[in-house]
Amino acid sequence: MNPEIRHDWSQDEVLALLDLPFNDLLYRAQETHRAHFDPNRVQVSTLLSIKTGACPEDCGYCSQSAHHETTLERERLLPLEEVLAAARAAKEQGATRFCMGAAWRNPTDRNLETVAEMVRGVKALGMETCVTLGMLDREQAQRLKAAGLDYYNHNLDTSPEFYGEVITTRTYQERLDTLDHVREAGLNVCSGGILGMGESRRDRASMLCQLANLPSHPESVPINLLVQVEGTPLYGVEKLDPLEFVRTIATARIMMPASYVRLSAGRQEMSDEMQVLCFFAGANSLFYGDRLLTTDNAETDRDLQLFRRLGLRMEQHVQTEKPPQGRACHRV
């Protein structure tokens, strides 16, 4: 068991990390990063919204919630061929993983069968697959595993303490239950959150504790910067200090040393220099392609130029191995 892989973080300990002088924090994060990964490589995934809008949940950040008045047009579940065409295009651009997102509270069994077809089709192209479909029960997670799914994305989004300010239509415990079902089915877990929703530093520490104190660390930890969408309750919330975002990435890297930390939504708003600091702090994965789910992403040309300037390489091979983890653990 690797003693560096811990599951017993306390909030105060995490706050002490977040409070370190910036250079000390980044130095520690970079040291941790180098012990587990090639520091000059990033993993890239491309997103596609396979079912857009009219979601019954009330997530305060989301363009797709039926509770908010946004300009988003709802769309039905996309046909298989359209999904496969998008996956092929993503592969040609260099993505190794294709992530399909649906605006559901949870999939019906019929929806799940359609998504399973998509997973089989994308796998057949030689790509890794990830889906994010809302809550899953045990059996649904197993069906996705049987279809060949590699990753399930389900974010905790924020701390348990702040959660009720953002979402009222489902509980934090329901999120944790889905993560249990996904893990039990033998799927890789992709779980992270959103920064810049008006949460405190303690909330950020608390969210990272929740993620790192799971029985095993998520293989992939997306850290999103809120994309402010007009018409959502969180539109206009005070913007987060970019260096605080970088600190949170560094802290995630130290706490979950062998996990991919993904620089996720919000890159379009970030300067090149901020993204560079995030890579230095241990981010080693990102969403690549001109669209996220319903909003624009940083353009691929800009990303490629930045990778060239930094000597960063995109991971070419499909990474299905699990990072080494200690499993026996206790929650605080």
DSSP class per residue in 83-146: HHHHHHHHHHHT-SEEEEEE--SS--HHHHHHHHHHHHHHHHTT-EEEEE-S---HHHHHHHHH
Q: Which of the residues 150 through 209 are near ligand DTB (CB under 6 A)?
A: 153, 155, 192
Residue 275's Cβ-count burial label (10 Å; 0-12, 13-18, 19+) is: buried
Q: Does 103 bind ligand SF4 (CB under 6 A)?
A: yes
Q: Is 231 helix (H, G, I), strand (E, B) or coil?
A: coil
Task: Record the tokens describing residue 25, joined without a space.
Answer: 């924090």
List, in sequence order, the alpha helices (H) in 130-241. Answer: 138-146, 160-166, 172-184, 201-212
Rounded distance, CA 155 to CA 190, Å?
7
Residue 43 interacting with ligand DTB (CB under 6 A)? no
Question: 65 contacts which partner out of ligand SAM, ligand DTB, ligand SF4, none, CB within 5 to 8 A by kind?
Answer: ligand SF4
154 binds, among ligand SF4, ligand SAM, ligand DTB, none (CB under 5 to 8 A by kind): ligand SAM
Q: Which of 170, 183, 190, 204 is catalytic?
A: 190
State the minimum distance, in angstroms, from the CB of residue 258 to ligand SF4.
Answer: 27
User: Closer to ligand DTB at the Cβ: 29 or 103?
Assistant: 103
Among 293, 298, 307, 325, binds ligand DTB (CB under 6 A): 293
Does residue 99 have an active-site annotation?
Answer: yes
CB 297 within 8 A of CB 291: yes
Does 209 qualify as catalytic in the annotation? no
Q: Where are the beta strands (DSSP E) in the chain?
A: 41-51, 97-102, 128-132, 151-153, 188-190, 193-195, 220-225, 260-263, 285-287, 313-314
Catalytic pick among 28, 183, 262, 267:
262
**Residue selected from 25, 46, 57, 144 as contacting ligand SF4 according to rule CB under 6 A:** 57
Question: How far is it, in rounded angstroms, from Cα 301 to Cα 11?
Answer: 40
Residue 62 falls in the annotated catalytic set? yes
For 313, the 3-state DSSP assignment is: strand
> Which residues bind to ligand SAM, rule: CB under 6 A?
61-62, 101, 103-104, 132, 134, 154-155, 157, 194, 224, 226-227, 229, 265, 293
Kindly state the tokens that stand for 33: 């990063």
Question: Tell me, what amino acid is at 211?
Answer: L
Task: Report the partner that residue 226 touches, choosing among ligand SAM, ligand SF4, ligand DTB, none (CB closer than 5 to 8 A by kind).
Answer: ligand SAM
Query: Catalytic residue positions?
Result: 55, 59, 62, 99, 130, 190, 262
**Residue numbers of the site for ligand SF4 (CB under 6 A)?**
55, 57, 59, 62, 64-65, 103, 134
**Residue numbers of the site for ligand DTB (CB under 6 A)?**
47, 63, 99, 101, 132, 153, 155, 192, 222, 224, 227, 264-265, 292-295
